Structure 1
Amino acid sequence: MIEKGALLPMFYLPPVAWFSQLIAHQPDILIENQEHFPKQTYRNRANIYSPDGVLSLVVPVIKGSKVHTPVKDVKISYDFRWQRLHWMSLESCYRRSAYFEYYEDAFAPFYQKRFDFLFDFNEELLRLLLKSVKVPLTPQKTESYQAVYPANVVDLRHSFSSKKEFDLQQKPYFQVFEERHGFIKNLSIVDLLFNQGPQTINYL
């Protein structure tokens, strides 16, 4: 267990605010692995910038696994072809961005290969994101659930909500469809990555 640093939930293509906290508190980062799976959070959804504004990409999970199930045991549902939908959405939203082509070969396999567990899928994606953003970090994972951590550990497990905006002072960067809807803050890190490429780490 870490004695200082930050405790973060595991998200699907996390928002910029999540990454800003990870950067601020590295290298002492602990990822929550044992909590019960909460509904309607970034654990299985990500927001990207579409021609119509914010588009939420949701990874469906198997019904019944939502209640009192440790997040590491939540299984992904493949009842419909969500992977194809997510990849087509990423392509159509970011094909015109400056760096999508630079990263697409690394991201594409995640939308072809099947993962059983949501946590494993998110963890592998996080490894790719850390590598792409150039953050040399391998976060630890919790081994048991703790409701309360020492005062010098920043507990961020409930700080990011898909319904309530995280208080993030964010400097605008170029976004593909900003001429339609203006700058939209705190989208998925892939919005920043595909638009800013190697400059992402400097931005964060």
Structure 2
Amino acid sequence: MTKIAIDLHYLPSLEFFAAIAEADELLVFSQDLYQRQSYLNRTRIRLANKVETLSVPIVGRRPKLPLDQVRIDYEQNWQAVHLRSIQSGYGKAPFFEFFFPYIQEILESEAESLWGLNLNLMTICLKLLRLPVKITAFSEGEIPLDLLDVRGLIVPGRPFSDRNFYQSIPYSQLFGLNFEPNLSILDLLFCTGPEAGKILRESIKKH
């Protein structure tokens, strides 16, 4: 049984899902500290003329807090911005109308913490990808020894090619002639639908 300890990213990248695609169980840690300059509150999607980074604003500039205590700043109208950007980028994608309502419902639900938002999004993404993976929230006690710990490894500052999780497998995207690898899982879901899980498994980097 493969157990993997992960960070809960916001609408994670293909690299993230390639890293966990063969896991039986995911361990998530609500008491890990929030890290700035991470994917905990940001994701990348493709628009007509560029790749756009969407960021979830949080309360406080540099909160050194456990993840489940990091509050989302709803005084900023970020949900409308994110939903509008996703619609602009993928509204004409083949499977947009099937999957978008699930994402919209979670973004509009106003989860209190970043942890709660990301956990809800992770749960629905695994369901849409048809990955039979169990998520276990781990708060205290001995961490199991028989697990692969990838926390803190998938970060914006280094290219995915430096790591051993993901290899780029092109699929049909909406814009441009050149394939843009390692975007948010939304790109793969909206563009390929039921083929997403298969493409994801093919994207696992061979060692």
Same fold (TM over 0.5): yes
Matches within 5 A, 1:114-193: 114-144=110-140, 150=145, 152-167=146-161, 168-179=166-177, 182-193=178-189
SS of corresponding position for 1:177: coil
For residues 102 and 127 of structure 1, the distance between their equivalents in structure 2, rounded to whole angstroms, comes to 17
SS of corresponding position for 1:139: strand
| Equivalent residue pairs, number | 196
1:34·1:145 contact (CA, 8 Å) conserved in 2?
no
For residues 124 and 107 of structure 2, the distance between their equivalents in structure 1, rounded to whole angstroms, comes to 14
Question: Are positions 1:36 and 2:33 aligned together?
Answer: yes
For residues 109 and 28 of structure 1, the distance between their equivalents in structure 2, rounded to whole angstroms, comes to 25
- Over 3 Å counting, the alpha-carbon distance change for 1:154 and 1:95 in structure 2 is same
2:25·2:133 contact (CA, 8 Å) conserved in 1?
no
Aligned to 1:60: 57
- Partner deviation per Cα, 1:83-135 (whole Å, 9 max, x = no partner): 00000000000011111011122222123221111110111111111111111
Gap regions ≥5 residues in structure 2: 201-207
- Over 3 Å counting, the alpha-carbon distance change for 1:133 and 1:191 in structure 2 is same
Q: What displacement does 1:31 show? A: 1.6
Aligned to 1:9: 7
SS of corresponding position for 1:178: coil
For residues 48 and 196 of structure 2, the distance between their equivalents in structure 1, rounded to whole angstroms, comes to 22
SS of corresponding position for 2:86: helix
Aligned to 1:45: 42
Q: What displacement does 1:67 show? A: 2.8
Q: What displacement does 1:4 show? A: 5.6
Matching residue within 79, 82, 92 for 2:78: 82
For residues 53 and 189 of structure 2, the distance between their equivalents in structure 1, rounded to whole angstroms, comes to 17
For residues 81 and 98 of structure 1, the distance between their equivalents in structure 2, rounded to whole angstroms, comes to 28
For residues 57 and 88 of structure 1, the distance between their equivalents in structure 2, rounded to whole angstroms, comes to 11
For residues 105 and 128 of structure 1, the distance between their equivalents in structure 2, rounded to whole angstroms, comes to 11
For residues 36 and 111 of structure 1, the distance between their equivalents in structure 2, rounded to whole angstroms, comes to 23
- The percent of aligned pairs where both chains have the same amino acid is 27
Q: What displacement does 1:41 show? A: 1.0
For residues 196 and 19 of structure 1, the distance between their equivalents in structure 2, rounded to whole angstroms, comes to 15
1:149·1:155 contact (CA, 8 Å) conserved in 2?
no
For residues 141 and 94 of structure 2, the distance between their equivalents in structure 1, rounded to whole angstroms, comes to 42
1:10·1:33 contact (CA, 8 Å) conserved in 2?
no
Aligned to 2:204: none
TM-score (norm 2): 0.88
Deviation beyond 4 Å, 4+ runs, structure 1? none
Aligned to 1:27: 24
CA RMSD of aligned residues (A): 1.9
Q: What displacement does 1:50 show? A: 1.1
